[in-house]
């Protein structure tokens, strides 16, 4: 007996096209919902444009270059992208799923009836919709949102720490350059002193040993200049490494020499909003939501499943669709869910302790940085007075040397003291600026 020919009714083509259009619309709507919910990117900032080549670089310019170059910032950005992807995965747990299934079953049959067909084709659209699963998906979505906020805050904190590194390298380069100029000035003063001593020596008013003493100081200053040049080169190389521009070229100091500092309480009030503290708070929220995810496994799961058949043979060929309501009630899993809940609860308690530690650490760092800034500013004022006094002493020594009221060693000592006071003032000035930046970063108030 010949196998019966399976023919598709004329209206089936129209139903097939309508079903395909319906499924396409459903998929389009699903993707739109996913993109609408997951599109906002927390914490994104406008791109900082790097300065053109040849232009003197300010601290802001170097920081913009460092943001573009730093692999650490790029890694944090990828962590944000991963959190966004996990949110999309969590969202899929509450959205419907649609697939198309096609199968061709071959069996050993005579083909004399619908039960013994040699070939059993089946084409169908499979749709499933979760209805209830203990709110695990909603807790997971809330957790991934909190994780994204955590990653954003971690990236902001990494940017702040990068700014601190750039500011340290930038001010160190300025400090060594100014220190080198001071030594060059001292060298010129000593050379003028040697010329004056040579003239006095020709007149018999000065001994050769006095000129040699001054020459010795010139050599010492030149040796110190080489040391400062090496430090200047190291600072420039560090800034080149951070900014990614080689050579770094000329830099321009636009920062005030004496930065303004607020009161301590205003900085302490910002400890709770510091990015790493906020990141720890978001991590605590992530851990709380994970507890809810694990607790949701105690609840039954309810889902709706349906099939729309495009092609079917046998006794069920006239059945074009079916639907089923599925309920799965967990009864005993050997303590697996209980253990998972206890583990998640312990991790939530750990995250809470870490948040408390981060906040206390922020307060300690702010207090410590503020105390160092206060001491540095007081030291700057004292060194400023010492510089004025040493300069005045040097001028008096030079004037008193001409009528032989003081000897040459006293003049050279005055030059040395004036140089040391000037260099101490330079180092203290830039050190106080670095400490102010450290205070700002400790309070998390910089962009």
Q: Would residue 364 count as lying in a domain?
A: yes
CA distance 427 to 171: 10
What CATH number corresponds to the domain at position 177? 1.20.1600.10
pTM over the 0.75 mark: yes
Per the structure, how many domains does the chain have? 1
Residue 237 DSSP SS3: helix
Q: Would residue 313 count as lying in a domain?
A: yes
CA distance 267 to 248: 34
pLDDT string in tens for the chain (447-residue length): 334 433 344 444 444 444 455 445 544 545 444 444 444 444 444 455 556 566 889 999 999 999 999 999 999 999 999 999 999 888 888 888 999 999 888 877 666 666 666 777 889 999 999 888 888 889 999 999 999 999 999 999 999 999 999 999 999 999 999 999 999 999 999 998 888 888 878 777 778 888 888 899 899 999 999 999 999 999 999 999 999 988 888 898 888 777 788 899 999 999 999 999 999 999 999 999 999 999 998 999 999 999 999 988 877 788 899 999 999 999 888 889 999 999 999 999 999 999 999 999 999 999 999 999 999 999 999 999 999 999 999 888 888 877 877 888 888 888 999 999 999 999 999 999 999 999 999 999 876
Reported for 92-97, long-range contacts at CB under 8 A and 24+ positions apart, including other chains, are 92/34, 93/130, 93/133, 93/136, 93/137, 93/140, 94/130, 94/137, 94/138, 94/141, 95/30, 95/33, 95/34, 96/26, 96/30, 96/127, 96/128, 96/129, 97/127, 97/128, 97/129
Q: Would residue 50 count as lying in a domain?
A: no
Q: Would residue 49 count as lying in a domain?
A: no
Q: Would residue 44 count as lying in a domain?
A: no
Note down the domain range covering 365.
10-39+56-443
């Amino acid at each position: 007996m010949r196998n019966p020919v399976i023919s598709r009714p004329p209206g089936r083509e129209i139903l097939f096209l309508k079903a395909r259009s319906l499924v396409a619309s459903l998929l389009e709507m699903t993707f739109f919902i996913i993109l609408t919910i997951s599109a906002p990117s927390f914490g994104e900032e406008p791109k900082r444009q790097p300065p053109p080549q040849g232009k003197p670089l300010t601290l802001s310019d170097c920081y913009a270059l460092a943001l573009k170059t730093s692999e650490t910032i790029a890694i944090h950005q990828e962590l944000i992208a991963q959190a966004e992807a996990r949110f999309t995965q969590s969202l899929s747990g509450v959205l419907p799923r649609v697939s198309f299934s096609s199968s061709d079953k071959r069996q050993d049959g005579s083909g004399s009836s619908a039960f013994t067909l040699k070939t059993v084709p089946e084409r169908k659209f499979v749709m499933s919709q979760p209805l209830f699963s203990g709110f695990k998906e909603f807790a997971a979505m809330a957790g991934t949102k909190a994780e994204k906020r955590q990653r954003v805050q971690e990236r902001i904190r990494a940017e702040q720490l990068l700014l601190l590194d750039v500011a340290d390298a930038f001010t160190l380069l300025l400090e060594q350059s100014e220190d080198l100029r001071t030594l060059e000035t001292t060298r010129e003063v000593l050379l003028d002193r040697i010329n004056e001593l040579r003239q006095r020596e020709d007149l018999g008013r000065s001994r050769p040993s006095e000129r040699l003493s001054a020459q010795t100081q010139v050599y010492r200053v030149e040796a110190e200049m080489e040391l400062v040049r090496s430090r200047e080169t190291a600072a420039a190389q560090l800034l080149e490494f951070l900014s990614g521009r080689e050579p770094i070229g000329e830099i321009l100091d636009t920062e005030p020499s004496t930065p303004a500092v607020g009161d301590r309480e205003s900085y302490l009030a910002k400890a709770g909003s510091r990015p790493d503290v906020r990141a720890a708070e978001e991590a605590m929220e992530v851990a709380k939501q994970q507890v809810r995810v694990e607790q949701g496994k105690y609840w039954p799961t309810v889902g709706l499943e349906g099939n729309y058949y495009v092609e079917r043979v046998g006794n069920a060929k006239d059945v074009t669709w079916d639907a089923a309501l599925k309920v799965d009630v967990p009864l005993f899993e050997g303590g697996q869910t209980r253990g998972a809940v206890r583990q998640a609860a312990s991790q939530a308690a750990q995250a809470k302790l870490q948040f408390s530690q981060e906040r206390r650490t922020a307060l300690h760092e702010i207090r410590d940085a503020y105390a160092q800034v206060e001491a540095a500013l007081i030291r700057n004022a004292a060194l400023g007075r010492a510089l004025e006094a040493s300069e005045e002493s040097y001028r008096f020594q030079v004037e008193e040397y001409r009528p032989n009221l003081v000897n040459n060693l006293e003049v050279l000592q005055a030059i040395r003291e004036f140089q040391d006071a000037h260099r101490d003032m330079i180092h203290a000035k830039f050190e106080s600026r670095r400490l102010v930046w450290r205070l700002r970063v400790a309070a998390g108030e910089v962009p």
